[in-house]
Amino acid sequence: MLQNYEAFKTKVLALTSIDLNAYKERQMKRRIDALITKNNLKTYDEYIDLLRKDKVALKDFVNYLTINVSEFFRNPEQWKVFENIILPHLREHNSGRLKIWSAACSTGDEPYTIAMILLKHMPATSFELTATDIDDQVLAKAQSGLYTAKSIKGVPAEFKANFEKIGTDSFQISDNIKRCVRFKQHNLLKDPYPTGLDMIVCRNVLIYFTDEAKDEIFHKYNRCLNNNGVLFIGNTEQILSPKNFGFTAIKSFFYTKGV
């Protein structure tokens, strides 16, 4: 068994600004140990030395740590709730421009899904959609807008026209959709949060964090939402006591900030 994981976490924080203390230790340590073995190393100190010297290894490390599993219209029934119930709620309580944040957006499938639904009901000038992730590699992929057939298999027929086939198994999302999303790098555990938001979408990410880290993030989410704003989380997550964070459950996986 590898030793000195506590010291390793401190060095990773200094090197990457990623606080491993905020992640569930058992599963995160297992992922890191696998990376060390993959690189034919034996200790955490050896691995830290590699990360300091090799920029490619460092990028691979960050990419591997930030679990990136995403697809368009993942859990389609939830997107129906968003379109038919949540979006009318948001428009009822905001007569101006909707401000939406897709946090930990991975390869962009989620914010582009949001953009397609929004454009079905309103012009692009009626909303501002920001998508963030800690991993610059997945952000680069998101900004390219290039996806495989597997990634887009869940896209409903009415939205398929937003993709153009490129080559044998690649699909390019339309510029019309790409222009709707602004991508930025952001660390949920360290960086300031945007404010004045009408909706935050953060799905299937917080399950990897400790309870303490999750609680802190939920409090921050509440503070940066407008009254009647909505938090949309993943089907692998739930807020056991939403009132503790100033939220009220309105549908499964959807919570509104009380007035």
Tens of pLDDT along the chain (259 residues) come to: 467 888 898 998 888 878 888 787 887 888 888 889 888 998 999 999 999 999 888 888 877 776 555 789 989 999 999 999 999 999 999 878 999 999 999 889 999 999 999 999 999 999 999 999 988 888 988 999 999 888 899 999 999 999 999 877 789 999 999 999 999 999 998 999 999 999 999 998 888 888 899 999 999 999 999 999 999 998 878 898 999 999 999 999 999 997 6
What pLDDT is recorded for position 1?
47
Residue whose entry in the numeric block shows the structure tokens 């993943």: 234
Distance from C-alpha of 159 to C-alpha of 143, rounded to nearest angstrom:
19
Distance from C-alpha of 139 to C-alpha of 80, rounded to nearest angstrom:
26
What pLDDT is recorded for position 81?
96
**Is the Cβ–Cβ distance between 214 and 246 less than 8 Å?**
no
Distance from C-alpha of 254 to C-alpha of 63, rounded to nearest angstrom:
28
Local structure of 220: helix, strand or coil: helix
Q: What is the sign of the dihedral through the CA atoms of 12, 14, 15 and 17?
A: positive
- Among 179, 152, 187, 182, residue whose Cα is nearest residue 74: 152
Residue 230 burial (CB count, 10 A): 26
- Please, what are the domains in the chain? 5-65 (no CATH), 76-257 (3.40.50.150)
- The angle at the Cα of 69, spanning 122 to 242, to the nearest 5 degrees, equals 70
Residue 91 burial (CB count, 10 A): 15
Query: Concatenated DSSP letters for 94-161?
Result: -SS-EEEEE-S-TTTHHHHHHHHHHHHHS-GGGEEEEEEES-HHHHHHHHHTEEETTTTTTS-GGGGG
Give pTM, 2 decimals: 0.81
Distance from C-alpha of 129 to C-alpha of 124, rounded to nearest angstrom:
10
- The angle at the Cα of 96, spanning 91 to 98, to the nearest 5 degrees, equals 60
Structure tokens at 246: 């100033």
**Is the Cβ–Cβ distance between 245 and 80 less than 8 Å?**
no
Burial-class residue 115 by CB neighbours within 10 Å (0-12, 13-18, 19+). buried
